[in-house]
Structure 1
Amino acid sequence: MNRIQMKALAKVNLGLDVIRRREDGYHEVKMIMQTVRLYDRIILEKTQKGISMETNLSFLPVNEQNIAYRAAKMLMDEFHIQSGLHIKIDKHIPVAAGMAGGSTDGAAVLYGVNKIFELGLTKRQLMERGVKLGADVPYCIMRGTVLSEGIGEILTPVSSLPDCHILIAKPPVSVSTKHVYENLKLDKIEKHPDIDGMVEALRIEDLHGVTQRMENVLETVTIPEHPEIQQIKELMIKEGALNALMSGSGPTVFGIFDDREKGMRARDLLRKSSLVRQTYLVRPFNIRSYR
């Protein structure tokens, strides 16, 4: 195998709770993550020597500042691979948007390097290496509907999200995850998401039971700084979304619809507004495989 092409899929957080801040500065979380059918296309190709990289976005780094580059280098150094590798990323997942766009690229490159150089690593072994690159990378290797706990490293697959239509809207701002967590006031959060109830709703395939429990405590930081996030949520709900939520630390908003026509109408309205830069109407992805 000299060439491999992959889809690096994005994620949204159906529910996100922060339990506490640890003494080491990390935050313990409890959240449900869901892979969606929005992806970057990644091509890996063997070369004679070294690692080279290209992307369709001029502002993205093509060196060790890019997690995809670091993922390839980590495995190639560990296994003393002498030949080279070219990485091509055709990026569609919004950048700095709370959708694990960088992490999923790194996860896909780990998977691809393992395949193209026949390293024989299991999914679990790839996940163990992936956490060194970022907290979301192991999940992006696992994919599907997953309960994430600890600092994000304890992953438990749960029942799949019932089929639905997910409208994704990215406003023209970027958000620093570090900034959001540093400014989170845990003692002032009055209501925490019912993550256990969401897991049970997923188990019995109750889409409405899932959506009525959708909450994200990080909204308490990001929405006051970017009120357009709340406006996007309200528009989606007005147009028929069962619920709408900010994903991760934001600023991307997603709404869940049980009717595609309603999702399309909300998408078209958002595109005509000045609230968003990118919109996508997608479906959940629940097959835990790159193939």
Structure 2
Amino acid sequence: MTEEDKTRKIKELEEKGVIPYASKYNKEIKARDVKKLELGTKGIQTAGRIIQMRKFGKLTFADLMDYTGTIQLAFSINDFGKERYEEFKEMISMGDFIGVKGELFKTRKGEITIKVKDFQLLSKCMQNLPDKWHGVKDEKIKLSERYLDLLANEETRQRFLQRNRIIKFIRNYLEENDFIEVETPILQPQLSGANARPFTTYYHALKKEVVLRIAPETYLKRLLVGGFERVFEIGRCFRNEDMDRSHLQDFTMLEYYASYWDYKDNMKFVENMIKGLLKKVLGSLQ
């Protein structure tokens, strides 16, 4: 379907009183958790993006995706009636966000599926989706249009979720060991904490040049001078230097300081943190 076709369809929907971009929907359960329910459960209400559709005359199967996974949907003329089923076929297409309400059952092929009793268009998609089976292969597109990579590649989505779990564990680990999380200035009057080329900008209110921080080190140490004994920060740092797969100009850094510790204390602390992190995120140290 071309963009012109979709634009025309939006106008047709609006003329029929259908809102193509809803302001709210009460999503009660994630796709992943739907599959944990007992077969026959009624009143299931969820939402997500349609990523696949398979039409068989009076029956249509579709895959609904959210950030936790996918669940199959079944739309039948027997459940909707002819008029409502035709409305569904005209209204919903690949890439659309929809909300559905229905009953859980298992198909003859053993696929756990929601038998849809009612649906609502939440957001009409105006662009064609990437190929489901091949995903986004172009590395430049992956980096510049990350949303397409997320949409098409499960591995990328899992990487984002894993990063979230890693940062959450590190933050909890530090706080459980009496560290206080702080925020230090990103705009700084001069370089400090490392040896790197900075990004510079002009601070009009103060009429002076400032730099984006290359490290939070000296400001964290000032907090120790002020009386805190254990502090940490997880924040963005910026270095105006070369870029490769393991080095970006802006990146997230963890930096912590603990009074009265020597290097042996730090070694033991970091070792235990990494072990705990691997067990939590990967399930083992292997």
TM-score normalised to structure 2 length = 0.24
Larger Cα-atom Rg: 2
TM-score normalised to structure 1 length = 0.23
Structure with more relative contact order (C-alpha pairs < 8 Å, separation 6 or more): 1
